[in-house]
C-alpha cells in the first residue's frame, strides 16, 4: 500500500503532480521543474522529505555498535554534529548511504534513504546483537521539511531564535521554528546552503505554512523530487540505485574516504572490513572503472543504463542523466574505464538509441556554489 506524508492534502491543494517513490506518494513537481530548480540555485525552495527513514540508536554502547555496523568512525562524531557514511554488506557492497546525527551522549539518529529504510533497520537490529544498545524504528515519529538555497538562512532565521549563524555544515541543534519543536540540521542534497527540519508529523503543516509565508519576500517556492534530482546531479551527489548499489563498494564509487579502518573501538571488526581492505588496495593500484561527469556537446539527454562508448567499444555506463538548467546542456554521471576517465579525454560518446552522441569527460561536481 502506498504511503502518504502528513502534507499529502496540502501538496494536492497546491496542484502538485504526485508520483510513487519507494512506496510513498510524493510531489514530483508543482509547476515547472526548471523554475523550481532555478529557485533553489538563486533564491530558495521548500521540500517535503518525510519519506526518508529515521532510525534511533540509544544506549551506553550505541557508538560502539554503530562503529561495528557502519564503515565510518561514528564514535568521533561530536554531540550536535552529523556524519555522512555508509552501511555495507560483508562483501563490501553498499546497502545504503546514510547521515548519522549525534543527538546526545548516547543517542544517535540514522537517516536512511526511503527505499532502503527497512533494509537498514533490519541490518542495524541484527548488528546490535551483543551490544548494550537499542535500535528503534522512528520513521513514523518524524516529518522532514527542507529549505534549500542562498536565501534559506534568512528565511529560517526569521522564524526561529536558534543561533543559525554558528550552526556549521553537517551540524544540528534542537530548537523552535515557527513555534514548532524541531531538530534543525544544516544539511541538504542540492549543492546549496540549507536546512533540514525534523518535526512531529502533527506540526508539519503549520511549519510548511509559516516557512511559505516567511519565504515570500525571498522568492521561496515549493519544490518536488524532480528538481531535487537535477540539483543533486549538478552537485555530483550520488543517488542510491544509480551511483551506489550492492554491486559496488565505496571505493568503486570514489567514496573510499568514508571508510575508516582505524576507529576508536571495534576498528578491525566492522561489517565488510576485510572485503573493503581488498577493495582499497585494488582501487589504489588498478581501478577498473571511475565515476566521472559527462557534458553533452549536443542536445540529446542521456539516461541511466545507456552505454558510454569510445573507439567503437563500450567503456562504461551512464548512472544518472538529465538536462542541466544551470549549465544549459545535458549532463550525466557515468562509470567509465579508468583509461578514459581523465577530464578532457577525447572521443567519448553516449549511445543514445543507436547514435553515438559526443560528450566531454569532466571532473565532478558540475556545479559548486560560491561561498
User: What confidence tens digit (pLDDT) does each residue in 242-278 have?
Assistant: 999 999 999 999 999 999 998 855 556 899 999 999 9
Phi, psi (5° rounding) for residue 224? -105, -175
pLDDT (mean) for 83-101:
98
pLDDT-based confidence at 63, cuts 50/70/90?
very high
What pLDDT, on a 0 to 100 scale, did the predictor assign at position 265?
55
CB 4 within 8 A of CB 25: yes
What pLDDT, on a 0 to 100 scale, did the predictor assign at position 264?
58
What pLDDT, on a 0 to 100 scale, did the predictor assign at position 268?
62
CB 115 within 8 A of CB 107: no
Of the listed ranges 194-198, 286-290, 295-299, the one predicted with least confidence: 286-290
Rg of the chain over Cα atoms, rounded to whole angstroms, equals 21
- The helix or strand, by DSSP H or E, that contains position 37, with its residue range, turns out to be helix 33-42
Q: How far apart are the first and last CA of the chain?
A: 43
CB 111 within 8 A of CB 295: no
Side by side, which strands form the sheet with 17-21? 3-4, 24-29, 17-21
pLDDT (mean) for 342-367:
97
CB 238 within 8 A of CB 253: yes
358 Cα distance to chain centroid = 29
pLDDT-based confidence at 1, cuts 50/70/90?
confident
pLDDT (mean) for 97-108:
98
pLDDT at 287 over 70: yes
Chain-wide mean pLDDT for the chain?
A: 96
Residue with grid cell 521554528, as numbered in its chain: 177
Question: pLDDT per residue over 27-40, tens digit each?
Answer: 999 999 999 999 99
Residue 369: how many CB atoms within 10 A of its CB? 13
125 Cα distance to chain centroid = 23
What pLDDT, on a 0 to 100 scale, did the predictor assign at position 285?
85
Q: What is the pTM of this model?
A: 0.97
- The helix or strand, by DSSP H or E, that contains position 102, with its residue range, turns out to be strand 94-104
Angle formed by the axes of helices 33-42 and 225-234, nearest 10°: 50
Residue 222 to residue 229: CA distance in whole angstroms: 15
Domains and CATH numbers, the chain: 3-50+142-234 (3.30.1360.120), 54-139+249-273 (3.30.70.1400), 289-362 (2.40.30.110)
pLDDT (mean) for 101-114:
98
pLDDT-based confidence at 344, cuts 50/70/90?
very high
Cα dihedral 162/165/168/172 (nearest 10): 10
Residue 303: how many CB atoms within 10 A of its CB? 14
Greatest distance between any 2 Cα atoms in the chain = 61
- The helix or strand, by DSSP H or E, that contains position 29, with its residue range, turns out to be strand 24-29
Residues forming a β-bridge with 291: 335
**Nearest-CA neighbor of 69 among 136, 125, 129, 124?**
124
Give me the numbers of helices (H) and strands (E) for the chain, helices first please: 8, 20
Residues forming a β-bridge with 118: none
Beta strand segments in 91-162, E: 94-104, 107-112, 134-137, 143-148
pLDDT (mean) for 301-311:
97
What pLDDT, on a 0 to 100 scale, did the predictor assign at position 338?
94
Q: Determine how β-strand 329-337 pairs with β-strand 94-104.
A: unpaired
Question: pLDDT per residue over 139-166, tens digit each?
Answer: 999 999 999 999 999 999 999 999 999 9
Amino acid at each position: 500500500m502506498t504511503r502518504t506524508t502528513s502534507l499529502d492534502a496540502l501538496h494536492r491543494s497546491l496542484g502538485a503532480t504526485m508520483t510513487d517513490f519507494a512506496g510513498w506518494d510524493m510531489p514530483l513537481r508543482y509547476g515547472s521543474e526548471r523554475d523550481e530548480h532555478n529557485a533553489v540555485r538563486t533564491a530558495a525552495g521548500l521540500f517535503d522529505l518525510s519519506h526518508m527513514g529515521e532510525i534511533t540508536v540509544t544506549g551506553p554502547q550505541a557508538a560502539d555498535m554503530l562503529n561495528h555496523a557502519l564503515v565510518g568512525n561514528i564514535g568521533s562524531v561530536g554531540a550536535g554534529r552529523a556524519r555522512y557514511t555508509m552501511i555495507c554488506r560483508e562483501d563490501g557492497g553498499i546497502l545504503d548511504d546514510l547521515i548519522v546525527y549525534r543527538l546526545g551522549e548516547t543517542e544517535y539518529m540514522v537517516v536512511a534513504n526511503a527505499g532502503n529504510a527497512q533494509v537498514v533497520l533490519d541490518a542495524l537490529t541484527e548488528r546490535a546483537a551483543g551490544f548494550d544498545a537499542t535500535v528503534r524504528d522512528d520513521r513514523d515519529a518524524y516529518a522532514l521539511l527542507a529549505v534549500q538555497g542562498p536565501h534559506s538562512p534568512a528565511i529560517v532565521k526569521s522564524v526561529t531564535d536558534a543561533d543559525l549563524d554558528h550552526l556549521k555544515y553537517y551540524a544540528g541543534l534542537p530548537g523552535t521554528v515557527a513555534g514548532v519543536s524541531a531538530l534543525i540540521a544544516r544539511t541538504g542534497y542540492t549543492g546549496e546552503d540549507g536546512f533540514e527540519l525534523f518535526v512531529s508529523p502533527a506540526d508539519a503543516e503549520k511549519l510548511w505554512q509559516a516557512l511559505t509565508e516567511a519565504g515570500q519576500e525571498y522568492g521561496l517556492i515549493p519544490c518536488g523530487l524532480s528538481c531535487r534530482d537535477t540539483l543533486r546531479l549538478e552537485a555530483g551527489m550520488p543517488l542510491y540505485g544509480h551511483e551506489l548499489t550492492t554491486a559496488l563498494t565505496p571505493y568503486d564509487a570514489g567514496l573510499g574516504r568514508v571508510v575508516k579502518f582505524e576507529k576508536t573501538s571495534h576498528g578491525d571488526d566492522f561489517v565488510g572490513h576485510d572485503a573493503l581492505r581488498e577493495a582499497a588496495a585494488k582501487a589504489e593500484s588498478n581501478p577498473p572503472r571511475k565515476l566521472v561527469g559527462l557534458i553533452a556537446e549536443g542536445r540529446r539527454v542521456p539516461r541511466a543504463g545507456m552505454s558510454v562508448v569510445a573507439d567503437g567499444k563500450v567503456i562504461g555506463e551512464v548512472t544518472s542523466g538529465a538536462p542541466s538548467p544551470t549549465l544549459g546542456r545535458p549532463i550525466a554521471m557515468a562509470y567509465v574505464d579508468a583509461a578514459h576517465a581523465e577530464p578532457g579525454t577525447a572521443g567519448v560518446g553516449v549511445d543514445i538509441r543507436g547514435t553515438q552522441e559526443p560528450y566531454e569527460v569532466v571532473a565532478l561536481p558540475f556545479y559548486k556554489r560560491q561561498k
